Amino acid sequence: RTLAVEVAAELCRRFEGFYSRPYLCPAGVPTLGYGATHYLDGRRVQLTDPPISRETAERLLLRQLERTYLPAVLRLCPEVHAPRRLAALVDFCFNLGAGNLQASTLRRRVNADQWDQVPAELRKWVRGGGVVLRGLVLRREAEALLI
């Protein structure tokens, strides 16, 4: 397991929290475990799904980081090799999706090697359901510290 995945997983655990039962996140998306919106087989989480154990949530988190989010970041930002920077971007991608990273000025700054501007770009992504959320402000700050 790579350092980037371990650090990203720690951020996810810290900011997502563990929920055995499905719930609606602030953006209105059914979620469970440590912020998972899909199962490993690709099915979307439904509010009617049964609860999962902490061990299952941990397995789901690590596999999604390894199989989905780390590869997405490496594809979109191929020159990022520093584990801490990679972890920050993987956590961002886990939280907001690869599509948001792909279309972002954040990605353009990363790929242009303008790391001094990356924290300011991260700090723009603090809204959920159109409202600034304290948890997202804190999460973006934690990511910015890794840059």
Quote the CA–CA distance of 147 and 141 in Å, as a whole number: 10
What CATH number does domain 3-146 carry, 3.20.20.70, 2.40.128.50, 1.10.530.40, 3.40.50.20?
A: 1.10.530.40
Torsion, Cα 23 34 17 83, to 10 degrees, reads: -150
Where along the chain do its domains lie?
A: 3-146
Determine the average pLDDT of the residues in 40-64. Answer: 95
Please check the confidence at residue 129 and state whether its pLDDT lies above 90.
Answer: no
- Mean pLDDT, range 46-56, rounded to an integer: 97
User: For all residues of the chain together, what is the average pLDDT?
Assistant: 95
Sign of the torsion formed by the C-alpha atoms of 67, 69, 72 and 78:
negative
Beta bridge partners of 44: 38
Task: State the residue for tokens 């948001």.
Answer: 100
pLDDT of residue 25: 86
pTM: 0.93
1, pLDDT greater than 70: no
